[in-house]
Structure 1
Amino acid sequence: MEAEIPSYDRKNYNNSNITQVDERSAEERAIDDWLPITASRKARWWFSTLHNITAIVGAGVLSLPYAMSELGWGAGVAALVISWMITLYTLLQMAHMHEMVPGRRFDRYHELGQHAFGDKLGLWIVLPQQLACLVAVDIVYMITGGHSLKKFHYLVCRDCKNIKLTYFIMVTASAHFVLSQLPSFNAISGVSLAAAVMSISYFTIAWGASVGKGVQPNGHYGRRSMTTAGAVFDFFSALGTAAFAYNGHNVLMEIQASFPSTPQRPSKKAMWKGAIVAYVIVSLCYFPVALIGYWTFGTTVEDNVLITLQRPEWLVATANMFVAVHLIGGYQLYAIPVYDMTETVLVKKLKFKPTWYLRFITRNTYVALTMFIAITFPFFGALVGFFGGFTFAPNTYFLLCIIWLAIYKPKRFSLSWLVNWVCILLGVLLMVVAPIGGLRQIILQARTYEFYN
């Protein structure tokens, strides 16, 4: 995965005597030490594993059996494998580019974009896409956490009065209001550990319980939709769902910023080690859930496979509680870069003082906003497909390849050139077709939805 070093830094890239001269003022250093992304650089390689598992292995994976039912066996397996390969490749690219310039670290995704395309253009290319991804994940996680708690409540207390989904979303939000005050990635390492363990646990339950049920007599493996147009739109939406399932790139630069780095031991080595371990674990989660869930239920599977499972009740209830705990940690992981963007603007541009009450107000406002949107539009499956294509495909599948080509300029028709162009073409195609199917599902579900039900 070592890239050709561009001519402007090849001479000094391996120079072990390179040191970074800190030209910041005392006030600037104090602000950077306060901002969540640059507050601490003491992470270890296994922090990368925990954060990447929490970031990548998310709620979207529970909809992969549903995506398989829209794609079918051949296209479904191909989509899973190709997505796994492309996203691992671009993730390793991203980790390498974190310190491509000697003596400098690109601590935030948009800083890498600015280096590749210029300060203004790079900011406008990267920042809106990344911000949309981060907010979209937090909204979907808020919705899914509410659904999981509602399912848990139903399973453990069938005779209890029915409680609206709105209130369960508010319960998950209450945890986010508290955890949002944790200052940095290192501060949420314990939360990520709990979230990673929970994610692995409920995925194991999901495919294990599916195996126990066996192939269901009412399931089949044909078209999910009865019309050709519906099947095409379902296919498009399923591609977006597959894209959404691999969404850790949007926080990778910021996670890597928490690692110490020296010329002898650059941060990319620890990041690569943690990321590869995480991706091995990801494959052990994704493929069994997707394939076994579809094998068991066929086209009768729900957009969240845990909702489809009914027995054994205690195991399904436990899995839903694990989902809720995992998504609480996952929400915070994606929220920290948003906090950093907001606080950077307030402190560096608008000259607010970096105080605890500024952090308290801004972060609680963000949690409240995502809670309101989640309560208003709780279309889990449709949102996954729409956001997966519209926002995640660029950031995860092809934007990094464009940056790589712009900076490193590999020889035309070389292996690096060909691989990156293939990723770009597939990613652009995904970005175009996936939101179409997702938007159609949102429209169909909105017809019968009662707000704040």
Structure 2
Amino acid sequence: MGESLNNTNHHIFIDSPSRNGSECFDDDGSPKRTGSFWTASAHIITAVIGSGVLSLAWAIAQLGWIAGPTVMLLFSIVTYYTSSLLTECYRTGDPVSGKRNYTYTHAVRSILGGYKVVICGFIQYLNLFGVSIGYTIAASMSMMAIRRSNCVHYSGGKKPCHMSNNPHMMVFGVAQILLSQIPDFDQIWWLSILAALMSFTYSTIGLALGIAKVAATGTFRGNLTGISVGTVSQAQKILRSFRALGDIAFAYSFSMILIEIQDTLKSPPAEAKTMRKATKLSTAVTTVFYMLCGCMGYASFGDSAPENLLTGFGNPFWLVDIANAAIVIHLVGAYQVFCQPIFTFIEQWVTRRWPESKIITKEFKIPVPIRGYRPCKLNLFRSVWRTVFVMLTTLISMLLPFFSEVVGILGALGFWPLTVYFPVEMYIEQKLISKWSSRWICLKTLSLACLVISIIAAAGSIAGVIHDLKVYKPFKTTY
């Protein structure tokens, strides 16, 4: 599977004696990495505080005031803990001078090896591919919400304002085709910072609207056990609760690109030290925002909390429009953060397979009119392949536009293997933790418990998709 997230220089110059130790190159012979605590934090926040935050009020509505916040807090603790274990796997052996692992899959190969490499690579890239589909769906929904809000406002509610999300997905796809030509992760730092700012913008607006609604009604809605049986059937209550677990798991998903982000960091200090600090800050900030948005959303709407929080607020329509626009901008950046590992994996593999092909290797430098910014590199194969990838994700999104259910499936699919299992297994192997020791038992118990959660979350989300497919007509359904 893939070997590097950054540009191919990471491998062309590995172990070059003339380059190691110089001011322009790192210890592996690749160009000096420039990432910092702040850029890593921006990448993580961009990846974590995504569209998943909008479904948290609905998730808490299914679980209630006791289980909802408790489950959210437990997910944050588990994610932070296992991510801290994963940061130790960036270098094999010595944490300062050991051999670098450029990607998540590279780390699994170096530490675990065998068939687990193939399994990890398949799950990681499938999940990244799925996230790109989920973000395309979410962005189109926000664009539709803006159009519908303006339509209802200016027509005085006299028009039904139904519309298809397909054109909106196409617009998002065109934007991604253009941005996908940025060669590697190092050069999208500005996009991650912008996306992170946008995530705070719409989360803050959603929180403010929730507070205003609670203040206007003077009551905190909802109950201790969530939506009651009677409003929904017993079977629906169970399946919805399971799906809520998947939604919360998806909201904390970023471990699948943690190693790739860590590979952008400069040293000293040791990359693991910087990454632990970035993970700690990002997880804490994320959890506070999630708690506030999810709980205030539930307090505002109670059992009728919508699957997308912002769709529940009609006024002030201009403020809701700003929040939805911020979501679209954020998802434009988040899409790139999650797709860069896939892009690099394919391009590295093709370069190794046909190293003499000029179509694959030849690059054209285009000057960027920004002082201090490196020239943009265009490559024929990269341009065509990335364009095809974006078109494929857009087409699939048009076929399956079920936001909440897709979010739940992605959360369930990636949470246990990528956030828990592989970090735990690599940490045990790396630190030589004795079998059946107290720490070994605790780590294995954590992994098993998270496996059970992932299975039940997947069951609930898949049931939701099956239900929606019964009434959905591809390319024809309007909202």
- In the TM superposition, residue 172 of structure 1 has moved relative to its aligned partner by 1.2
- Residue 7 of structure 2 corresponds to which residue in structure 1? none
- In the TM superposition, residue 414 of structure 1 has moved relative to its aligned partner by 5.4
Is the 8 Å Cα contact of residues 239 and 385 (structure 1) preserved in structure 2?
yes
Q: Could you report, residue by residue, the CA deviation over 1:42-69 in whole angstroms, capped at 9, with x for unpaired residues?
A: 2122110100100111111111111111
- In the TM superposition, residue 413 of structure 1 has moved relative to its aligned partner by 6.2
Is the 8 Å Cα contact of residues 58 and 306 (structure 2) preserved in structure 1?
yes
Structure 1 stretch 352-361 or stretch 404-413: which is displaced more? Answer: 404-413
- In the TM superposition, residue 108 of structure 1 has moved relative to its aligned partner by 0.5
From 137, 141, 146, the equivalent of 1:147 is: 141
Letter in 2 for 1:156: N
- In the TM superposition, residue 187 of structure 1 has moved relative to its aligned partner by 0.8
Q: SS at the partner of 2:326?
A: helix
Counterpart Cα distance in 2 of 1:328 and 1:226: 36
- Residue 182 of structure 2 corresponds to which residue in structure 1? 182
Structure 1 stretch 350-359 or stretch 321-330: which is displaced more? Answer: 350-359
From 421, 435, 438, the equivalent of 1:398 is: 421
Check if 1:123 corresponds to 2:123.
Answer: no
Letter in 1 for 2:257: V
- Residue 14 of structure 1 corresponds to which residue in structure 2? none
Matches within 5 A, 1:87-166: 87-102=79-94, 103-118=98-113, 120-158=114-152, 159=155, 162-166=162-166
Check if 1:44 corresponds to 2:49.
Answer: no
- Residue 378 of structure 1 corresponds to which residue in structure 2? 401
From 408, 413, 436, the equivalent of 2:459 is: 436
Counterpart Cα distance in 2 of 1:365 and 1:90: 34
Q: Could you report, residue by residue, the CA deviation over 1:323-348 in whole angstroms, capped at 9, with x for unpaired residues?
A: 00000000000010010111112111
Q: SS at the partner of 1:168?
A: helix
Check if 1:276 corresponds to 2:280.
Answer: yes
- Residue 370 of structure 2 corresponds to which residue in structure 1? none
Structure 1 stretch 249-258 or stretch 149-158: which is displaced more? Answer: 149-158
Letter in 1 for 2:47: A
- In the TM superposition, residue 156 of structure 1 has moved relative to its aligned partner by 2.6
Q: SS at the partner of 1:311?
A: coil
- In the TM superposition, residue 397 of structure 1 has moved relative to its aligned partner by 2.7
Matches within 5 A, 1:315-330: 315-330=319-334
Counterpart Cα distance in 2 of 1:196 and 1:231: 34
- In the TM superposition, residue 79 of structure 1 has moved relative to its aligned partner by 1.0
- Residue 256 of structure 1 corresponds to which residue in structure 2? 262
Is the 8 Å Cα contact of residues 198 and 327 (structure 2) preserved in structure 1?
yes
Counterpart Cα distance in 1 of 2:219 and 2:401: 31
Letter in 2 for 1:110: T
- Residue 408 of structure 1 corresponds to which residue in structure 2? 431
Counterpart Cα distance in 1 of 2:278 and 2:220: 42
- In the TM superposition, residue 350 of structure 1 has moved relative to its aligned partner by 4.1
Is the 8 Å Cα contact of residues 216 and 296 (structure 1) preserved in structure 2?
no
Q: 1:354 to 1:392 in 2, by over 3 A?
A: farther
Is the 8 Å Cα contact of residues 55 and 247 (structure 1) preserved in structure 2?
yes
RMSD of aligned C-alpha atoms? Answer: 2.3
- In the TM superposition, residue 422 of structure 1 has moved relative to its aligned partner by 3.2
Is the 8 Å Cα contact of residues 221 and 298 (structure 2) preserved in structure 1?
no
Q: SS at the partner of 2:100?
A: coil
- Residue 343 of structure 1 corresponds to which residue in structure 2? 347
Q: 1:445 to 1:40 in 2, by over 3 A?
A: farther
- Residue 12 of structure 1 corresponds to which residue in structure 2? none
Counterpart Cα distance in 1 of 2:199 and 2:125: 24
Structure 1 stretch 376-385 or stretch 343-352: which is displaced more? Answer: 343-352
Is the 8 Å Cα contact of residues 88 and 427 (structure 2) preserved in structure 1?
no
Check if 1:236 corresponds to 2:242.
Answer: yes
Is the 8 Å Cα contact of residues 53 and 282 (structure 1) preserved in structure 2?
yes
Q: 1:347 to 1:413 in 2, by over 3 A?
A: same
Counterpart Cα distance in 2 of 1:223 and 1:350: 60
Q: Could you report, residue by residue, the CA deviation over 1:379-398 in whole angstroms, capped at 9, with x for unpaired residues?
A: 00011111211233321133
How many pairs are equivalent? 420
- Residue 289 of structure 1 corresponds to which residue in structure 2? 293
Is the 8 Å Cα contact of residues 36 and 274 (structure 2) preserved in structure 1?
yes
Q: 1:365 to 1:313 in 2, by over 3 A?
A: same
Is the 8 Å Cα contact of residues 198 and 326 (structure 2) preserved in structure 1?
yes
Is the 8 Å Cα contact of residues 64 and 222 (structure 2) preserved in structure 1?
no
- In the TM superposition, residue 272 of structure 1 has moved relative to its aligned partner by 1.8
- Residue 59 of structure 1 corresponds to which residue in structure 2? 51
Q: SS at the partner of 2:361?
A: coil
- In the TM superposition, residue 447 of structure 1 has moved relative to its aligned partner by 1.6
- Residue 387 of structure 2 corresponds to which residue in structure 1? 364
TM-score scaled by structure 2? 0.83
Counterpart Cα distance in 1 of 2:314 and 2:17: 60
Counterpart Cα distance in 2 of 1:415 and 1:306: 46
Counterpart Cα distance in 2 of 1:216 and 1:66: 21
- Residue 369 of structure 2 corresponds to which residue in structure 1? none
Counterpart Cα distance in 2 of 1:269 and 1:408: 17
Q: Could you report, residue by residue, the CA deviation over 1:158-185 in whole angstroms, capped at 9, with x for unpaired residues?
A: 3497542100111111110111011122
- Residue 169 of structure 2 corresponds to which residue in structure 1? 169
Counterpart Cα distance in 1 of 2:258 and 2:168: 30
Q: SS at the partner of 2:433?
A: coil
